[in-house]
Amino acid sequence: MNDEERRSDANASLMLALATRIEGKGQYNVAKLLRAAAEATARRSAYRLGLSPDLDGIVADLERVVAMLPAQGASAELVDAPARGRDAVRAGTQTLLEEFPDPFVCRRCGGHTLGAPRAICATCNAWPTTHQRFRGVYWLDEFDPVTALQVMSAGICLERCRRGRGNVVAAYPSQ
């Protein structure tokens, strides 16, 4: 990790910490801007990695992530799930929600569970409802069920759009 990446990580961490603190003062709109800036910072950093889209590269990167998760404080269940995912990717099999429930992350301390949390956070006592849910198809929450099905059936291909051969906005049904 170079100095720029370290600064980027530190800046994203600062933004998230400040967002949590400022939410405690009731400033939710300011906090959402800080969370968005932290997410954008992390995504820019990830984009610059330029990881390979080929299957062997993906499997190798999954192996690296599985190996480093314990050192990052990940629970055994959070280490096991990507390992099983790596095996599914390698085998070319589809993963199911029943096998890979949505993870939830405590927005205050970063604690995590697979599936909805059922109790307050063991680390910081945050309520289960304050945990952030991560869905396999992240934009499903943005649409009502009928519109989500329309969007999926439209066959939107973001890769085509990224390469300039399609228009995401034109493909979305109006709400």
Tokens of residue 27, six digits:
């400033």
Q: Are 127 and 118 in contact (CB under 8 A)?
A: no
C-alpha 19/C-alpha 36 separation (Å) is: 10
Q: What is the pLDDT of residue 162?
A: 47
Same domain, 2 and 29: yes
- Hey, what's the torsion of the CAs at 60, 61, 67, 72, to 10 degrees? 180
Range(s) of the domain holding residue 74:
52-100
Neighbours of 14 (CB within 10 A): 13
Same domain, 41 and 56: no
Single out the residue of 113, 119, 68, 114 nearest to residue 95, CA to CA. 114
Neighbours of 117 (CB within 10 A): 21
Q: What is the pLDDT of residue 175?
A: 45
Same domain, 17 and 39: yes
Q: What is the pLDDT of residue 136?
A: 82
Q: What is the pLDDT of residue 116?
A: 92
Q: What is the pLDDT of residue 52?
A: 80
DSSP code at position 61:
H
pTM: 0.69
**Could you tell me which residues come within 8 angstroms of residue 136 by beta carbon, excluding any fewer than 6 positions away?**
97, 100, 102
Same domain, 93 and 129: no
Q: What is the pLDDT of residue 141?
A: 67
**What is residue 93's three-state secondary structure?**
coil
Number of domains in the chain: 4
The gap from C-alpha 103 to its chain's centroid, in whole angstroms, comes to: 9
Single out the residue of 140, 149, 159, 158 nearest to residue 169, CA to CA. 158
C-alpha 102/C-alpha 136 separation (Å) is: 7
How does pLDDT run along the chain (175 residues), one tens digit per residue? 677 777 878 888 999 999 989 988 999 999 999 999 999 998 888 888 888 888 999 999 999 999 999 998 888 888 899 999 999 999 999 888 889 899 999 988 888 889 999 999 999 999 999 899 988 876 666 667 777 777 666 655 544 454 555 454 454 445 4
